[in-house]
Structure 1
Amino acid sequence: MSVTRRQILTGVAGLAVVGVTAGGLGRYWLGRSDPEVGHDYQLIAAPLDVELVPGHTTQAWAFGPSAPGTELRARQGDWLRVRFINRLPVETTIHWHGIRLPLEMDGVPYVSQLPVKPGEFFDYRFRVPDAGSYWYHPHVASSEELGRGLVGPLIIEEREPTGFAHERTVSLKNWHVDEQGAFLPFSIAREAARNGTLGRLSSVNGVHLGVVDLPAGEVVRVRLLNLDNTATYRINLRGQFEARIYALDGNPIEPRDLDKEYWLGPGMRIDLAIRAPAAGEVIALRDGPVRLGTFRVVAPVEHSATTRDWPPALPANPVSEPDLSNAEKLNFNFEWVGSVSVDTDNGRPPSLWQINGQAWDITDKTCADRPIARLVKGNSYILELKNMTQYQHPIHLHGMSFKVIASNRHEVIPYFTDTYLLGRNERAQVALVADNPGTWMFHCHVIDHMETGLMAAIEVA
């Protein structure tokens, strides 16, 4: 049975010291402990009733008392320690999207850990090497679990001041709900074979047509995160303002003006600096012509810190620079299978997509034992990504960052990322140093593309 937001808050407040059944009793803390020794969080996944459609209740699943879930923060270089407690009726994990971490903390079932069963907990503990905007979500039954609300922002703060006195986190997500707030199918085979199964109700920080306040006259860092299962947003702003891009997918770039629109695929993030106009003005946040939400400009709080000049570029993350002149080249073809096969007896999803002729079977716990590529630790590689389909694919690599260096479709100013939106019939080149040992997932972040074949494993040893 679902609980209300008030019950979650009340229940959490009463859990200062509680035993959790997972091979014994455990003592855990809420929120953060002493900041001098890192960032400790207790994070509970549980059913939660939310009101997405006015006057109707949706039985979501949430990390904490909201969906999207609790914003977690840590400082670059520090330890992030999270005791994750599963109070859902299903098993799950947490994957820390975009974070370069040890394999055993990556949250992929039967590859880096066993699923966390109902009533159990798992302690995630790792250092965060890079500053930026990231997020977290399960890697179990992803269409349903992300679709029900199990997503949340993870913000890694720079070690030194950045010049921004104000910032806002803006989580974008579509919901698969009908006019009464009841969930619709998260994946439909005929849609999974195309762009993916889209939700019908957009939200900004969990609210349809949500409003985010900006202080008048100030330069505000706005972290836009696409936490959707499927949707690629054609981000554009309308109103009186100035805006620059400061980071893509957690990694800083040389600041440049925001173009007419920016295509933000599932799993991708963009950090903007927006100079807010006078109080009373509004800036429309749009997906192409469709309004997603509103930035409302309000009078700044008296005596608050101010940022009126453009801050300098953010400090670069310590990502290894690939040696392009000595890099080995590897080809990856992203293809449509060409037919739909459904094994109803075994409950397998249809096989619709493949990488280099191999379709991933999410019901097969041994798929990662057959990696699509084996990389030598410390060597540089150029990966040629060839989209042989008529649909976009946001290609995401776990455990490492890669540098986008070329595309046959548009000019590239090289930058580091963990997710690249590979356009229709596009051929792009990305480069990396294989500096993190393990078996890492390499997949499309349109979730029902991933679950119907568009995933592989890359081994670094």
Structure 2
Amino acid sequence: MTEFIHRRTLLGASLAVAGTAALAACSGSDGGQGGGHAGHNGGGQGGGAAGAGSAKGFVAPDGPEVKAAEAKRGKGPERKVRFTATPATLDLGAGVTAKSWAYGDRLPGQEVRVTAGDTLALTLANNLPESTSLHWHGLALRNDMDGVPGLTQAPVKAGGTFDYRFTVAHPGTYWFHPHSGVQQDRGLYAPLIVEDPKEPLKYDKEWVIVLDDWVDGIDGSTPDAVLTELSKGMTSGGGHEGHGAAGTTAMGGRGIVSAARRPAAAKTPGPGGAGPSRMMMGAKSDLLGGDAGDVDYPHYLINGRTAKAPVSFGAKPGDRIRLRIINAGGDTAFRIALGGHEMTVTHSDGFPVAPVKTDALLLGMGERYDVVVTAGDGVFPLVALAEGKDTTALALFRTGGGAAPAATVRPAELTRRVLTADKLRADASVALPARKPDREIEIELTGGMAKYDWAFDGKPYTPDPRHEVRAGERVRLVFRNPTEMWHPLHLHGHTFAVGGTAGGARKDTAVILPNGTLTADFDADNPGLWMIHCHNVYHAEAGMMTVLGYRK
């Protein structure tokens, strides 16, 4: 497996390519601010908001307000790349292969790397048997490039293409994936690294670490079959209802709580005979306020490899190493630690924070952290514990000789200091300026496992804006979660200050615990129609999505 390693001396290197892609980098290209072009492959896979949702009185995804906001971001050197979404047989290591969908023939998809200020021009070719899309998770970009079919663009039909083109304004660790059904829980994801031309951090090596929970193509399972099973609800013994820890509103506790798995899961057929049952019962975590998740995944991965065949990273003792950690999972929070090392957290969701030292981190789905470690001498396990599910993913960190640790290793750091996002403060350079909110929007998380009717305010998703803002406002979102499940909340096109304070960490995805409240302040400076949703892919597809729209 190729390592995701980059030295500081390689800043500004040309963009990586995926699948059958060919790279071209052209300095100073003006191109134009449009999106894809109508009529590709005769399928009408036009750019802009062709075929997308519209709402009277709201800014359209390709409206003049959106184009004006994009013009303010400028037009840097153009970086061109082509990605192909295609069926693929993926080698997960140790004899495990899976027939799935991927970008090219690798998992994760090939990293895309640009410099802040560049114009990214990526053509997505869809060789899948159904429509797809590409969402740029965490980026504040032009609305018609956000990749939500039926809202900001037409779906990219089978056999079609779509040209995504936008200025990448902010440095940081990001990633991209479909916003079409439960496709994200296949192999369709890849890192997007936006380098800072004035990078203040000093380090010798950089590793991109992508965490994932894997079910597709294993014993006949697919994410669609998993959703079908979950949608029937848990109506008999051991269901999720009642498993939450009532009154838990803050992340606490360091112990590893085991999952009480269905004993006969491997032999119990799922819906329609599409593989074994994947419904998880009794997965509990103090850090997550009780119930840890819905899906009993057969494998957990770091950079596309199982713990029995881990990817290995090399360095020298004393090297300072930056780890960019991305949770690309569908239903799993990960607790990650590097055995024998202390981590210094420098960024969360791409934005710098006041540095904090810790032994372990907890990442909900969609969250990213950057940390710096100073390499020891030997062979060390980088372990990602599937929180509450009692299984781990593994990578190796080698700076010297010695035997590799066992696939089941659990370094002591996993149960020492465990950092969660509510403990972080924004670096002064990115702290949201103090200001009284002009508008407060309250959103209640609703639903449960009995009917699998996850939603906001009890209303299933429609592409019509339910929450409105006006450009220039300071907006406060208040999420209240009376359900008995934790949810990672994601806001498209913006970052917010966690806790609603000027010093709160700047994030685009944050965990809200059972019976908890999440306050998130942001400046309405990116017009369009924007999704707010739970980043548990199954909760979102069940209906826990809504739209925030800018009034004209």
TM bracket, shorter-chain basis: 0.7 to 0.9
Matched, 1:213 2:337: no
Q: For 1:414-453, what aligned pairs fall within 5 Å after superposition?
A: 414-453=504-543
1:192–1:448: 8 Å Cα contact kept in structure 2?
no
Matched, 1:147 2:185: yes
Deviation at 1:401, TM superposition (A): 0.9
- In 1: Cα distance, 2:126 partner to 2:170 partner: 28
- In 2: Cα distance, 1:129 partner to 1:376 partner: 22
- In 1: Cα distance, 2:546 partner to 2:168 partner: 25
Deviation at 1:459, TM superposition (A): 0.5
- In 1: Cα distance, 2:96 partner to 2:142 partner: 42
In structure 2, the CA distance between the partners of 1:14 and 1:128, relative to structure 1 (3 Å rule), is closer
Matched, 1:250 2:289: no
Deviation at 1:146, TM superposition (A): 1.7
1:223–1:271: 8 Å Cα contact kept in structure 2?
yes
Residue 204 of structure 2, aligned match among 147, 152, 165: 165
Residue 472 of structure 2, aligned match among 378, 399, 405: 378
Deviation at 1:336, TM superposition (A): 1.4
Matched, 1:266 2:365: yes
In structure 2, the CA distance between the partners of 1:358 and 1:337, relative to structure 1 (3 Å rule), is farther
The answer for the alignment partner of 2:485 in structure 1 is 391
Deviation at 1:295, TM superposition (A): 3.1
Q: Give 3-state SS (helix, strand or coil) of 2:322's partner.
A: strand
Q: Give 3-state SS (helix, strand or coil) of 1:352's partner.
A: coil
Q: For 1:24-173, what aligned pairs fall within 5 Å after superposition?
A: 37-52=77-92, 54-141=94-181, 143=182, 145-161=183-199, 162-173=201-212
2:441–2:475: 8 Å Cα contact kept in structure 1?
yes
Q: Give 3-state SS (helix, strand or coil) of 1:154's partner.
A: strand
- In 2: Cα distance, 1:225 partner to 1:163 partner: 21
In structure 2, the CA distance between the partners of 1:14 and 1:218, relative to structure 1 (3 Å rule), is closer
- In 2: Cα distance, 1:261 partner to 1:40 partner: 37
Unaligned segments of structure 1, at least 5 residues = 1-8, 25-35, 301-314, 341-350, 361-366
1:174–1:198: 8 Å Cα contact kept in structure 2?
no
- In 2: Cα distance, 1:53 partner to 1:218 partner: 28
In structure 2, the CA distance between the partners of 1:154 and 1:298, relative to structure 1 (3 Å rule), is same
- In 1: Cα distance, 2:20 partner to 2:149 partner: 27
Spell out, residue by residue over 1:384-443, the C-alpha distance to the aligned partner (whole angstroms, 9 max, x if none).
111111111000011111110259xxxx96111100111111112110111111110000
The answer for the alignment partner of 2:340 in structure 1 is 240
The answer for the alignment partner of 1:22 in structure 2 is 41
2:345–2:371: 8 Å Cα contact kept in structure 1?
yes
- In 2: Cα distance, 1:414 partner to 1:333 partner: 22
2:203–2:319: 8 Å Cα contact kept in structure 1?
no
Unaligned segments of structure 2, at least 5 residues = 1-16, 25-38, 44-75, 235-239, 241-292, 402-425
1:48–1:65: 8 Å Cα contact kept in structure 2?
yes
Identity of matched residues, %: 30
In structure 2, the CA distance between the partners of 1:425 and 1:225, relative to structure 1 (3 Å rule), is same
In structure 2, the CA distance between the partners of 1:80 and 1:295, relative to structure 1 (3 Å rule), is same
The answer for the alignment partner of 2:435 in structure 1 is 324
Spell out, residue by residue over 1:49-73, the C-alpha distance to the aligned partner (whole angstroms, 9 max, x if none).
1123643531111112212211111
- In 2: Cα distance, 1:149 partner to 1:127 partner: 26
Deviation at 1:21, TM superposition (A): 5.5
Deviation at 1:164, TM superposition (A): 2.2
Q: Which has the higher contact order (CA 8 A, sep 6+)?
A: 2
Q: Give 3-state SS (helix, strand or coil) of 1:399's partner.
A: coil
Q: Give 3-state SS (helix, strand or coil) of 2:453's partner.
A: strand
In structure 2, the CA distance between the partners of 1:61 and 1:122, relative to structure 1 (3 Å rule), is same
- In 2: Cα distance, 1:339 partner to 1:118 partner: 35
Matched, 1:201 2:315: no
Tell me the amino acid that sits aligned with residue 428 of structure 1: L
The answer for the alignment partner of 1:353 in structure 2 is 454
Spell out, residue by residue over 1:5-33, the C-alpha distance to the aligned partner (whole angstroms, 9 max, x if none).
xxxx99838999xxx96249xxxxxxxxx
Q: Which moved more, 1:177-186 or 1:224-233?
A: 177-186
What RMSD over aligned residues (CA atoms) do the two structures have, in Å? Answer: 3.2
- In 1: Cα distance, 2:205 partner to 2:119 partner: 25
- In 2: Cα distance, 1:10 partner to 1:134 partner: 17
Deviation at 1:191, TM superposition (A): 8.5
2:346–2:372: 8 Å Cα contact kept in structure 1?
yes
1:61–1:67: 8 Å Cα contact kept in structure 2?
no
The answer for the alignment partner of 1:343 in structure 2 is none
